[in-house]
Structure 1
Amino acid sequence: MNDSYNVNNISRVPVLDDMKSNFWKNGFVIIRNLLSQPEVEKLKNNLEDPESAIMRHSYSQDDGNGRNVKMVLWNHPGSDLTGMINRCQKIVHTCSYLMGGEVYHYHTKLVMKDAKTGGAFQWHQDYGYWYRNGVLFPDLISVQIAIDDMDLENGCLQILPSSHKLGRIDHIRIGEQVTADPERITEIKKVLTQMPVQLTSGDALLFHSNLLHRSDQNQSERRRWAMISCYNRANNNPVKPHHHSQYTPIQVVSPIIAQPSICIFVAHYSNSNKTTKDFLQYVAFVFCPI
């Protein structure tokens, strides 16, 4: 399965026709070195800074098996380093090409599985719950960027290639997570082979919103941080307002590194329900060094 592509140009991904055909055949592609090592190091330093505005808004989610996953979620990318990555040419244009038209930033979340304590994610499709947000078509793509190396020991993503062709599957709630129908998953795994997505820091997995995926708890002595940015087709604007963004054109930037180092922080919050933590619903600009 030719699903992996390497990037040597830090400002642009050379998108090939077979990349697009493989994406639609398998439901995903892997791009090695999507972020250069200098970009990854700047991102790590940004997030690890004790004064990081983004990290102050992290919350935990129960995995239904005694552990938690820490996350931060935002809808609108700003002018801090994370926003520049969300809006950078090599990600936005690649997603637009693979999806066959203009995309906009739906939301991004930072997923943090700490060493020995990081929780699991059950089998699910992202569109399994975006469907309930008034998104009519599954015309969305997610970009999971490995901030740390991701492998079997620290809970890398597991996928079922080509499962996006199954259409949307019914989902149920386990703990604070939503999971695909377990009985149907059992049958699907009889015909589709599970694949671990092991990434080196800076690599990225680009996957369709109906691709089934999960991840194990982090049993290792190493943390496992990843940033997952989701993009929706511009002509697939949700038909009802909800806790993620409506169509907003992306102000594309390139390159990532050459950006101002000081910005201003503005945010709004909303509770999705009585039991979950506050979501960082809108980030316009974030004050932080890059």
Structure 2
Amino acid sequence: MAKCICQQKSDNSSLPVSYPTLQDGGDPVKLFQEHGYFVVRQLLTSEEVESIKSEISAIVAKWYTQWLETGMDGNDWETAANREPAWKEGRWQPASDKPADIELGFRRLYRMTLESQLFDRIAKHEKIVSTVSKLIGNDIKLLQSMALLKPPGASEKMWHQDNGYFRLNPSRIMGVWIALDPANCANGCMHILPQPYTEDGQFYKHAANVDFHIEYGMVDRPNPSDVVPIILNPGDALMFHSHLAHYTPPNNSETRRRSVQFHYASSECQRIKCPKEEGGADHGMYFDCDPECQEQKYYYYKKGETLISGRDFGEGYV
């Protein structure tokens, strides 16, 4: 298989890549409509970035202490610390009880605004919310907050579209992915398939991983020549819509690639019912019902964390 541009170069620091970038006073709607994504340089200050990294370390240390004392993993796909498979399978152990060593065994942390006041404040950051409101309206729910830790040796996150997980209608949903470390091709930066934004969007056929059904992604990989690697510095952000196909390659470096990711949706979004539910309809490629229904394992993606601004429409909505 042909390799994308970042894999063709041994030194990706000088990749000939430029991105649509939101400048002060710029129009995010125009960028969204034309490209489906844009980059915001220095969305967070270096002080904010360091405080988030410290908070991640504290959360991991708390989880590790609980695990040692109780043996409970806590991996219920709700408020969870998700370890690397190698640790779960006994092929890797932390070198010490120091947070920096323990963190090397984690893939991600879920629903962090429910665990941390700092994450809650960052999710409601004025610079983020003011941009999001211009794109999806003033009635905003936070669908999901995550810390993506991508330690050295971490595997790829397969190609996918976010509304393949969320399955909401209308698809007024956007992601905000913020780098905490330099994110480059060697350590697994975001790779995207640019697509102008429309509410209906283009949806690609998805299927669940046979061995690990929560890993749900596109059946066909994009043409490598169409793929754009998003190289970011700490504090930089990628903002993108829920139909934008994206992927992160393995971390083949010796450095971590930590990031935080928030997904926001219009409070008017409603869950698309599974075809097997009462009142459900065939929504084409949103559901993977073969060989067995895995819908319950996706439930946590549809349970909004908190109201960010405006109205909450209550039962039946996010």
- State if a TM-score over 0.5 links the two structures: yes
1:27-69 C-alpha deviation (Å, 9 max, x unpaired): 1010010000111111112222377557874113659xx9996
Unaligned 5+ segments in structure 1 are 7-13, 253-290
Matched AA of 2:156: A
CA distance in 1, matches of 2:267, 2:111: 19
- Which of residues 227, 242, 246 in structure 2 aligns to 1:209? 242
SS in 2 for 1:97: helix
- Alignment size in residue pairs: 233
Partner of 2:203: 168
- Which of residues 157, 164, 167 in structure 2 aligns to 1:121? 157
1:229 and 2:262 equivalent?
yes
Matched AA of 1:179: G
1:16 and 2:49 equivalent?
no
Partner of 1:147: 180
Partner of 2:169: 136
Per-residue deviation at 1:217? 0.4
2:112 touches 2:119 (CA, 8 Å); kept in 1?
A: no
SS in 1 for 2:149: strand
Per-residue deviation at 1:88? 1.5
Pair member with larger Rg: 2
1:59 and 2:82 equivalent?
yes
Partner of 2:145: 108
Partner of 1:249: 307
1:76 touches 1:105 (CA, 8 Å); kept in 2?
A: no
CA distance in 1, matches of 2:183, 2:26: 26
1:23 touches 1:29 (CA, 8 Å); kept in 2?
A: yes
C-alpha RMSD of matched pairs (Å): 3.1
2:170 touches 2:270 (CA, 8 Å); kept in 1?
A: no
SS in 2 for 1:3: coil
Unaligned 5+ segments in structure 2 are 1-17, 67-79, 93-104, 274-295, 311-318
Select the structure that is richer in strand.
Answer: 1
Partner of 1:256: none
- Which of residues 220, 240, 246 in structure 1 aligns to 2:253? 220
The runs of at least 4 consecutive aligned structure 1 residues that moved more than 6 Å come to: 66-69
Per-residue deviation at 1:251? 6.1
CA distance in 1, matches of 2:246, 2:232: 15
Partner of 1:11: none
Per-residue deviation at 1:25? 1.5
Distance verdict in 2 for CA 1:32–1:26, change over 3 Å: same
2:81 touches 2:106 (CA, 8 Å); kept in 1?
A: no
SS in 2 for 1:249: strand
Identical counterparts, % of pairs: 25
TM-score, normalising length: structure 1: 0.71
CA distance in 2, matches of 1:124, 1:40: 27
Distance verdict in 2 for CA 1:110–1:208, change over 3 Å: same
Taking the TM superposition and a 5 Å limit, the aligned residue runs for 1:251-266 are none
CA distance in 2, matches of 1:50, 1:229: 18
1:256-287 C-alpha deviation (Å, 9 max, x unpaired): xxxxxxxxxxxxxxxxxxxxxxxxxxxxxxxx
SS in 2 for 1:213: strand
Select the structure that is richer in helix.
Answer: 2
CA distance in 1, matches of 2:115, 2:308: 10
2:186 touches 2:253 (CA, 8 Å); kept in 1?
A: yes
Distance verdict in 2 for CA 1:143–1:238, change over 3 Å: same
